[in-house]
Structure 1
Amino acid sequence: MSRISDPREFGRVAVLLGGSSSEREVSLDSGAGVLAALQRRGVEAFAIDGVPALVDAIRDGGVDRVFNILHGTRGGGEDGVLQGLLDALGVPYTGTGVLGAALSMDKIRSKQVWQALGLPTPDYRVLHPGDDVAAAAASLGLPVIVKPAREGSSVGVSRVHAPDDLEQAVALAARYDGQLLMERMIEGDEFTVAILDGVALPSIRIVPAGTWYDYHAKYVADDTQYLCPGSDGEEEQRLRALALDAFNALDVTGWGRVDVMRDRQGGFWLLEVNTAPGMTSHSLVPKAAAAVGIGYDELCWRVLEGSLDRGGRA
């Protein structure tokens, strides 16, 4: 249930989209949907492309709060940099704060926190320049996943089944800044659980037409199946509880999405948390919200309401 009914209480809302990360195009698509939804509900919302333009608008006194729908790092809004900036300027914003964003964006640090708390996440190795990647893969056991530690939307990710493919996978991941991560590949079913206002929504089981849920399956293909809820009974409750534990462990607040794998024996394994998930026509959080009767426009409103929990005014 919405907490407020008058859109004027939000003031002037900058829908922050685009940016300069590798996920720019997805963010533009997500932001267009959010902007239209807020405007349909009477919110004085307008689009701003990227952080420098946002800073200019704040300096000009034209922003009361920010709906952050930037994706990624280095000009995206999911790595804690934007959150720290807005905290310093006293401008309320949607989503999590600095620590939750920074920990979630860094898959290595996420896994370290989860392991310290006894939460299940696949074994991994951090790859440094000059490391023996074949030895790392042998220690984990093929197949493995090789990916940049601080990217999203499957950018730079490879599935490696044979030793001869390791060099190419590392070269692809190394195109992106930051550390590289090699992770034991969990073979089974992929799930995602959306979190909204401290509640885990029904899970979604993702069934791509191809061999795995890559960038094409996420944002281009129309033949990917999304089963919601993805499980039932005790298993569904166990999955939602695990996702909420993972979300809270990284100090994430507001809204987000937790990606999980189920192995062939029925065990769940945490992959990552997204703190500004996609809101495109293919995106998963709107699908989960719809399963409990929350339409797209209402979802955007509820996410924006989360900015009211942050003190400060522009």
Structure 2
Amino acid sequence: MMYSQEQVREVIDPKAFGKVAVLLGGCSAEREVSLASGKRIFEALQSSGVDCCLVDPVEGLVSQLVEEKPDRVFIALHGPRGEDGTVQGLLDQMDIPYAGSDIMSSALAMDKYRSKLLWQAVGLPTPDFMLIEHADNLDCCVEILPAFVKPSLEGSSVGVARVDREQDLLPAWEQASGYGGSVLVEQFIDGPEFTVTILNGQPLPAIRIESAESFYDYEAKYVSGNTQYHLPCGLTDSKEQELQALALTAFETLGCSGWGRVDFMQDERGRFWLLEVNTVPGMTDTSLVPMAAKSVGLSFEALVLEILKSSLSPAHQKDGGIKGSKELVQAESEAI
């Protein structure tokens, strides 16, 4: 089901949100992208008449939240400590509603290995994979080459390498393991890449990604400027509906809610293969979620308000307000 024009035109009262804190920056490898996303979200909220403020966790997250006393939070942190349930858990503890997925679903979506295990368990298609914790075990990966070697707990293709030859496995593993945690080796699917945005339970039109690089890596996403995005995506109506249904099922299987983006590859037989779910996708000038939203008539300002609406759902309503205790401030984790 697509967004109808009636849904697109729905009026949202900015005052219903109260004061909104936009979390941006952080200390992950995606800090610069997060800063760009967060500032653009902040400007959209301001232009819509929402009372809002910027909060960068590196400057002391708990103390800033206690001082600002927001009624809800828009999380624009990318990567570990932003998308992995860490911040979501803190906000739950402080009784501050936030837009998007909860602790469990954020953690599952960030963990590519466990996402794929769940999808396999319910019969959803995802490329063959192996979790490699030690370089001594790389020999068993030869059978699924060519493959992508990637950190299991990173986003935006950080630390990802395509490997076609056995002798390139070790360097790729060493690069990926440098980001901490285990390394996922995932079979390469030769074909076009697609992404589908999920917005408040509805899949938006699919986008086909055509990268000038060897694959859609961090450089292709944010630096090169040579990547082409096709919207309409070129699929038949029935194939696009199939892709959208699969995206929504994969998203909900992980327990995700509010908004997010689901990435796929399509093979030569036309079959779709799940890669990952992003629970806090980029919201920069070149990001895919705003692109998909625009195609159904949602301006960037309207998109931001639609996303923020998920913080008004019963699951996100808290009773106690901010716990501004000295103990919380003193216990603020350096990991955030």
Using the size of structure 2 for normalisation, the TM-score is 0.89
Residue type of the partner of 2:275? L
* Partner in structure 2 of residue 69 of structure 1: 76
* Partner in structure 2 of residue 311 of structure 1: 317
Q: Deviations over 1:7-26 (max 9, x none)?
A: 12211111000001111111
* Partner in structure 2 of residue 23 of structure 1: 30
* Partner in structure 1 of residue 205 of structure 2: 202
Q: How does 1:218-237 map to 2 (within 5 A)?
A: 218-230=221-233, 231-237=235-241
Are 1:217 and 2:220 matched, yes or no?
yes
Q: Deviations over 1:169-209 (max 9, x none)?
A: 01100111111111111110000000001001000000112
1:106 is displaced (CA, Å) by: 0.2
Confirm or deny: 8 A CA contact 1:51 1:82 kept in the other structure.
Answer: no
Are 1:96 and 2:91 matched, yes or no?
no
Q: How does 1:28-47 map to 2 (within 5 A)?
A: 28-47=35-54
Using the size of structure 1 for normalisation, the TM-score is 0.95
1:162 is displaced (CA, Å) by: 1.0
Quick one: distance in 2 between partners of 1:3 and 1:292?
13
Quick one: distance in 2 between partners of 1:228 and 1:125?
33
Q: Deviations over 1:112-152 (max 9, x none)?
A: 0000000000111110224331x222232x20110100001
Q: Which moved more, 1:146-155 or 1:229-238?
A: 229-238
Query: What stretches of structure 1 of length at least 5 have no aligned partner?
Result: none
Query: What stretches of structure 2 of length at least 5 have no aligned partner?
Result: 1-6, 323-336
Q: How does 1:136-147 map to 2 (within 5 A)?
A: 136-140=140-144, 142-147=145-150
* Partner in structure 2 of residue 121 of structure 1: 126
Q: How does 1:145-160 map to 2 (within 5 A)?
A: 145-160=148-163
Quick one: distance in 2 between partners of 1:48 and 1:58?
8
- Aligned to 2:113, what secondary structure does the other structure show? helix
Q: Which moved more, 1:147-156 or 1:213-222?
A: 213-222
* Partner in structure 1 of residue 12 of structure 2: 5
Residue type of the partner of 2:63? D
Quick one: distance in 2 between partners of 1:41 and 1:69?
18
Are 1:176 and 2:179 matched, yes or no?
yes
- Aligned to 1:240, what secondary structure does the other structure show? helix
1:303 is displaced (CA, Å) by: 0.6
Quick one: distance in 2 between partners of 1:297 and 1:284?
15
Quick one: distance in 1 between partners of 2:127 and 2:249?
16
- Identity in percent: 51
Q: Which moved more, 1:220-229 or 1:236-245?
A: 220-229
Quick one: distance in 2 between partners of 1:130 and 1:79?
25
* Partner in structure 1 of residue 300 of structure 2: 296
